[in-house]
Every structure is written in C-alpha cells, then in structure tokens.
Amino acid sequence: MTMADEANQKMEAYLGKLRQRLRGMNDDDAREIVEELRSHIRDKAAASGQMTAEGVDRALASLGSPEDLASQYMTDDLLARAVVSRSPLRIVQSLFRWASLSIAGLVVLLCSIVGYFLGAVFIVVAALKPFHPGTAGLWRLPSRADDFELSVRLGFGSAPGSGRELLGWWIVPIGLGAGCALVMLTTRFAIWCVRQYRKSRALPRG
Amino acid sequence: MSCSGSLALDCMIPCNARYVFVKVTAARDPDNVDKWEVQLRKGCLELAILAALWEEKLYGLEILRRLESDSDLIVSEGTVYPLLSRLKALGLVKSEWVESEAGHPRKYYALTPAGKKRVMDMAGIWKRFSSSMSKLLAPLGKGSK
C-alpha cells in the first residue's frame, strides 16, 4: 500500500464514522459537512505537498473525535429544526438531546414533558366526557382530615364514592381550552429556552 | 354504558405535594483564571469569525489561519466548522463551492446582509465595552504603590 493510499484510507475511515453519526440529519446537509471536512483534511494534510499518513493523523487529531464533532453538528441541527418546526414531537426529541448534554436541558425537558402530559390529559378528558358523563371530569377527593386531592378522571371505572365532581359539562370547553393553552404555552416555553441556549452559546461545548 | 375494571387511568394532582426546586448552579471556581479566559475567548469567537469575513470570502482553513495569525484566539478546528454551519443556519453567512488548484473544491463563506449588520452591531458593543474596561483597568498599569 502506498503512502497516499494509507493516508486516504485513514481519512475515509474518519469521515465514514462521522457520516454514520450524522444520521437523522437532512441528507444534503450531512453530505455537505463530510465534503467540507474532506476538503479541510486534504488541505491540512498536504500542506507540504504530498498528502501523508502523518499529516492526516495530525489533521484528524486537531478536529477531535468523529463522535464529538458529529454531536456538535447534530445538537445544533436538532435545536435549529425545533425552533423552526414548532411540532411538540420534534421539540421533545431535541430536548432529549439537549438534556443529554446539560442539566439545564434536563430541567427544560422535564418541565416540557409535564406540560405536554397535563395538556393532553385535559384534552382527552374533555373528549371523553360525552361518553362517560358520570365519571369523566375533574374530581375533588378527600384524602386526609383537612386535605384533598384534585383528580382528573378519564371516565374509565366507577365514580369515586366520596368525591365531588367540580365542573360538570364545563369540563368540555374548559378542558379543551386549558389543554390547548398548556400545549401551546409549553411549546413556546421550550422554544424560548432553546433560543436562549443557542444564543448564549458561541461554542457547543465548554 | 358502564366501563368497568382495570382501565382506570387517573391523573392525580395532590394539593399538598411538596415542590422541590432544583437550583442549578454551574460549578464555578473563582480562582481559576484559565477557565475565565476560555469563556472569554469562547464569547468572542463568533464576532472574530464574522469579522474575518468582512473583506473577502474565505474557506474554513483560511478562516482558521486568519484567526490564528491576526488574533491570539486559540481555536479548535472541531469548533469552528460546526459554528460556521450554525452561522449559516442563522442566515448570517452564505456559502458556495469553488474549484481550487489543489484539485478539490473548497467551501467558501461570505457575509450576508444580515451578517454584515450583525458584525457591525457586535463590533459597536465590543468597542464601547473594551474602552470602558480599559479605563477601569488603567490604574493597574501604573503598578502598585
């Protein structure tokens, strides 16, 4: 194997790993990233004329591991798409990635999941009220002496004996309104946090 | 119609729940000047890259060399490329592929009008900030009495 072959092989192995880690990203974007880095490695490794294996090694070492590099590209790509798409699914997907990188991301992820979950529960209970009018709704249940619990029941099972239903048929408009508002607010909150994070960060890692 | 049994799905909101606030404090070491320097460089990198593109379009390695020769920003290559891609996604730079004498195409970056405005704004802030810092730091140059 010639020197140039060896150098080429090392470079392609690195770029192959990088490409693999960029899965999930738009194909054209991923291809362009790989092309750009290939061009960079060639320029860098052939600084003194011929591209050598040592030159490639040096160039790869200063780029860092393909895993790290890909994760910097991916995180930003996901966060960018979340801000543009506004779809709760995409937002939660991006938040999972952010959460894997920082505690702030984890906190935002947990808050968003709670927000979306409660929103979905309100919408579902409003939708189920016509089918289970006696049991679906917001219930106030006694728990201990002077304490009580609020329970959103979807209408399966029997009505709790000692509880009181609070809203009656009002649960339909209120549930739909509150549910949609929660989903919207959670989306805006998550996007706002992601925007702040992207703005605050000149570099993806510290 | 009665739906009985095990499908009971409940979402309880206990009113007496204790809410735990997790206070997230970044690990800070006031004595660590190196860390502070890293943060400082990090904060300047976006401005430095946009400024490097002010006069002409450049490809990634040229930007890196410009940053190394014209400033003492020590830049990791694995940081600049993802950052360039982010600046492009934000619409501050645009890119085009140009064939080179080296036998492979290179990706050149240039400022967009939004990028030009951004770098002007950032430069203004930087100048005001650095001149007020210089005033504040002036007594330090005179040495301690």
Query: Is the Cβ pair B81, A158 closer than 8 Å?
Result: no
Candidates A29, A38, A39, A57, partner chain B, best to mutate (most B CBs within 10 A): A39
User: In this predicted structure, what is the pLDDT of residue B30?
Assistant: 52
At residue A15, the pLDDT reads: 95
CB pair distance less than 8 Å for B107 and A73: no
Kindly determine whether residue B104 and residue A121, on different chains, have CB atoms separated by under 8 Å: no
Rounded CA separation A43/B6 (Å): 67
pLDDT value of residue B95: 95
Answer whether A77 touches B (CB < 8 Å): yes
For residue A163, is it left (φ>0), alpha (ψ between -120 and 50) or beta?
beta
Closest CB to B104 among A39, A72, A76:
A39
Tell me the pLDDT of chain A (206 aa) as tens digits: 677 788 889 999 999 999 988 877 788 889 999 999 999 999 988 876 778 888 899 899 989 999 888 888 877 777 777 777 778 887 888 888 788 777 888 999 999 999 999 999 889 888 888 887 777 888 787 777 677 777 777 777 666 667 777 777 888 888 899 999 999 999 999 888 887 776 665 444 43
Here the tokens at position B13 are 């909101």
Q: What is the 3-state composition of chain B as percent helix, strand, coil, each rounded to the nearest 5?
A: 50, 15, 35
Looking at residue B4, its pLDDT comes to 30
Distance CA B63, CA B51 (A): 10
Contact at CB, B78 and A158, closer than 8 angstroms: no
Q: Residue A100 corresponds to which tokens in the numbers above?
A: 């894997």
- CB pair distance less than 8 Å for A33 and B85: yes
- How confident is the model at residue A117, as a pLDDT? 92
What residues in chain B have their Cβ under 8 A from chain A's Cβ atoms? 1-5, 7-16, 22, 24, 38-39, 42-46, 59-61, 76-79, 81-83, 85-86, 89, 97, 102, 104-107
Spans of all domains in chain A: 1-64, 65-206
Helix (H, G, I), strand (E, B) or coil at B7: coil
Q: What is the ipTM of this complex?
A: 0.71
* Surface of A (186-205) touching B: CB under 8 A: 198, 202-204
Read off the pTM.
0.61
Give the nearest partner residue to B81 out of A36, A150, A198, using CB atoms.
Answer: A36
Q: Cβ–Cβ of B102/A143 closer than 8 Å? A: no
Q: Return the pLDDT at A1.
A: 60
Counting one residue from chain A and one from chain B, the pairs whose CB atoms sit within 8 A come to 115
Q: Do B76 and A42 touch (CB under 8 A)?
A: no
Give B-chain residues touching A71 at CB under 8 angstroms: none
Measured between beta carbons, which residues in chain B are less than 8 angstroms from residue A63? 77-78, 81
Which pairing describes strands A148-153 and B10-14: parallel, antiparallel, or unpaired? Answer: antiparallel
- Kindly give the parts of chain B with pLDDT less than 70: 1-31, 72, 74, 143-145
For an interface test with B, give the residue of A17, A29, A40 to mutate (most B CBs within 10 A): A40
pLDDT for position A157:
67
Q: In this predicted structure, what is the pLDDT of residue B24? A: 34
pLDDT score, position A12 = 94
CA–CA distance from B128 to each of A202, B6, B64, B116, B131 (Å)?
Answer: 20, 68, 26, 19, 5
Q: What is chain A's Cα-based Rg?
A: 26
Pair A63, A15: CB distance under 8 Å = no
